[in-house]
Amino acid sequence: MDYLIPQSCYVGKLPVETLSQIFMLAAHGAPNESLQSVAMPHVLASVNLHWRTVALCNHSLWSSLVIDLQKVIRKQTSGGLTPLTTMITRSGRSSVDIIIRAQQGPMSGTEEMIRKTDFTKTMFEYADCMPAILNLLLPEVYRWRSLEIISDTWMPIYSALQLLNEPRTESSSALRLESIKLKRTNDFLSHYWLFCPGAMRMVEGNMFAALIGATNQDAPVQSPPLPKLRNITLYGVHLNWTNFFRYTLGATPNQSPTISNSIQVLELSHHSGEVRPTSDEFSGILAACPRLKKLVLGVSGPLTRLSGQVSLPQLQELHYGYGCIGYDVGLFSGLHAPNLIKLGLERRKLSGARATYSPTQDDGSDDKADNLLKYCTTHPLFPKLQELSLYNINVPVNTFALFFDTIPTLLHLLLHRTPNALPALLPIQKPSAGAGIPCPALESIRIFPNSHKDSLIVTLKGRRSAPRLADSEWLWEEMLEGGIIAFSPCSKVA
């Protein structure tokens, strides 16, 4: 009858330290935005008294402060902010990651949904929630590790910026802050020259003054006010760029940037033409980030060439998405990144209704990519390039061939709806040196969609026929995402 005797659970015999570590893996092993990481601490604490005691004693377990404004408004009558106050209390003095979601629904952020739905009432409700939320969070600013605000409309972000830009009298500042991400998910509006809504175009105040704490704003900044800040993403969200450059990055205009500045990842994406940084502002921003390792520019950046040469010796990854406005060659001509390893070029297409552009700009034809690749051909900018990704680039085969011939170090190539690039990898006849092999060190090719498989096979056979590559073999397989990858069996696929 021994089988009737209840057996104790093995998990119950684990030391408290081990069980606490398991709880951390369960709650934070998934991406920060997943539903699992948000609800898991509450689930673990509700199993039994022992688990609840372990969970409540582990303050780091409660460090993800996720605020969904849709749920806050729905539960306003029954204490919509109660879960947030509970998480703040239970997280103790541990560093916290803050995510504020101000999205209307699962399809929010698409132009089709915005045309069909009146979001005016919800926009005001979300914007009105921001003061109450930030009033709870700002007293804990000294332990913020990351701040992320996601919205599909401008008003909630504008409301948050007004509060974040307001100086505080308290001396505490966000000394632990590592990441700031502000994202407006409606990419379509960035293709318009005029910012919408125009009445809220101006972003006043000193950028993120509430995070910097009590400072004398009239005095020159001698050191970065946010010393641990590493990552900044401004996606569809513009700032007062001069104040951002001066107070957030800690560099005074017309002076050398502070060498202790440690920004490593910077993304500026989807900004309407009239709110993009000027050449001087953008040059200043880059100069204030001398240790930058990754730069993402997607339908953003200055509309003309940089005001001067900017050197980023530690930059390893650059992703550039261009639209219908901007002088792209001028941007690349002013950038010195000799150690770049990864480069991505993407043509951001405009769908739906045609936007209104500046009368001095072109119509968005792919002549921009043709000019840009030809410039890179005559001015080898990235001598150590190993990975290249091309998205929706439509230029002649000859342009691709000239470009590929200048990057002999290339190991991995990704082509997304860029079919003309495949024939450019075939051996070419050079008048002075006979047959040449573009990208002779190439180890892998990814193509999307898989309808270009025949062209890929022809290219691989043609490269094998070259004397220098006669012994090389290529394998290929279809990918779950709908593409194909071809690789050398001895290579280490990126």
Query: Per residue in 22-70, pLDDT tens?
Result: 878 877 776 555 555 678 888 888 888 888 888 888 888 888 999 999 8
Given a cut of 70, whether residue 260 has pLDDT beyond it is: no
Q: Report DSSP state, residue 191.
A: G
Mean pLDDT of all residues in 253-269: 70
Q: In the chain, pLDDT over 90 holds for what percent of residues?
A: 38
| Coil, strand or helix at 327 | coil
Given a cut of 60, whether residue 399 has pLDDT beyond it is: yes
Mean pLDDT of all residues in 475-488: 85
Q: Are 157 and 149 in contact (CB under 8 A)?
A: yes
Q: What is the DSSP string of 98-164?
A: EEEEE--STTTT-HHHHHHS--HHHHHHHHHHHHHHHHHHGGGGGGEEEEEEEESSHHHHHHHHHHH
pLDDT tens digits, one per residue of 107-155: 444 444 444 444 566 678 899 999 999 999 999 999 999 999 999 889 9
Q: Residue 350 — very low, low, confident or very high, per pLDDT cuts 50/70/90? A: low
pLDDT tens digits, one per residue of 213-250: 765 545 444 467 888 999 999 999 999 998 898 888 87
Question: Regarding predicted confidence, which is higher, 351 or 160?
Answer: 160
Given a cut of 90, whether residue 271 has pLDDT beyond it is: yes
Q: Choose the weakest-confidence range: 83-97, 213-227, 352-366, 442-456.
A: 352-366
Question: Regarding predicted confidence, which is higher, 480 or 154?
Answer: 154
Q: Choose the weakest-confidence range: 45-59, 74-88, 156-170, 328-342.
A: 74-88
Given a cut of 80, whether residue 169 has pLDDT beyond it is: no
What is the chain's mean pLDDT, rounded? 81
Task: Burial-class residue 363 by CB neighbours within 10 Å (0-12, 13-18, 19+).
Answer: exposed
- Note the pLDDT of residue 38: 72
Q: Report DSSP state, residue 221.
A: P
Q: Are 268 and 300 in contact (CB under 8 A)?
A: yes
- Note the pLDDT of residue 109: 47
Q: Please state the pTM of the whole predicted model.
A: 0.86
Return the number of other C-beta atoms located less than 10 Å from residue 461's C-beta. Answer: 11
Q: Residue 178 — very low, low, confident or very high, per pLDDT cuts 50/70/90? A: very high
Which helix (H) or strand (E) segment holds residue 19: the answer is helix 16-28
Alpha-carbon span 383 to 385, nearest angstrom: 6
Given a cut of 60, whether residue 410 has pLDDT beyond it is: yes
Q: In the chain, pLDDT over 70 holds for what percent of residues?
A: 78
- Note the pLDDT of residue 308: 83
Q: How far is CA 371 from CA 55, 393, 428, in A?
A: 59, 12, 21
Given a cut of 60, whether residue 332 has pLDDT beyond it is: yes
- Note the pLDDT of residue 110: 46
